A and B are shown apart, each in its own frame.
Chain A
Amino acid sequence: QKEVEQDPGPLSVPEGAIVSLNCTYSNSAFQYFMWYRQYSRKGPELLMYTYSSGNKEDGRFTAQVDKSSKYISLFIRDSQPSDSATYLCAIPGAGGTSYGKLTFGQGTILTVHP
């Protein structure tokens, strides 16, 4: 079983739709959870991060963590064509030498069409 699993999609939605992106993870020791966005031919950029369970909102983006289910989500409200990108969940290591390592999900390719 992979440490972090993400449905690769692709996902295609009309402009203005609410988008839900999800990942599951296997290690209950994980505490921090991140979402990166990667535009075509660019490096990933950090979009949001959360600590432990709960929700975090930033503009049109909401990150949600359910540690009991080992499930993390990213919601995008009022999606725009400029949101078209690959979205990757990422989880840092829980300790020791793995502390610096980020394990990424496979990435979900999102297309928002006008």
Chain B
Amino acid sequence: DSGVTQTPKHLITATGQRVTLRCSPRSGDLSVYWYQQSLDQGLQFLIHYYNGEERAKGNILERFSAQQFPDLHSELNLSSLELGDSALYFCASSVFARGQDGYTFGSGTRLTVV
């Protein structure tokens, strides 16, 4: 167990629907990162939050949004889902806002859009 908790582990939903993925970072970590992993694109950075504030955005679609709450857990909201959104979504956390410290990843949420 890495200490980063992601729920749910699996999600199957229909096109056009909206889902929320949840992440609890490791105790003491202030940064949360979201990544999408698909077979053809690899691990793609979506967004980074540090202590409740958005720090950086990557290749995140406008249909996707995220936030980090005062208790430091984070949610990734995916709406108007398309078949191409099917992927593994990982959350990672770190103490500071520096990638050089390395991240701790959760086990991921496998999203299947049908």
Please list the residues of chain A having a beta carbon within 8 angstroms of any beta carbon in chain B: 31-32, 34, 41-46, 49, 51, 88, 90, 92-93, 97-107
Would you list 15 pairs from A and B whose C-beta atoms are within 8 A, ordered by A residue?
Answer: A32-B100, A41-B107, A43-B4, A43-B106, A45-B105, A46-B102, A49-B102, A90-B99, A92-B98, A100-B50, A100-B56, A100-B97, A101-B48, A102-B103, A103-B45
What residues on B are CB-neighbors of A92 within 8 Å?
98-100
Question: Is the CB–CB distance between B105 and A43 below 8 Å?
Answer: yes
Interface size classification for chain B: 20 to 34
Q: Provide the residues of chain B in CB contact with A51, threshold 8 Å.
A: 100
Q: Would you list which residues of chain B between 63 and 93 have a CB under 8 Å from chain A?
A: 90, 92
Chain B residue with Cβ nearest A48: B102
B55 close to chain A: CB less than 8 A: yes
Q: How far is the CB of B87 from chain A (nearest CB, A)?
A: 13
Residues in A whose Cβ lies below 8 Å from that of B48: 100-101
Q: Given B4, B42, B50, B56, which contacts A106 in the complex, CB threshold below 8 Å?
A: B42
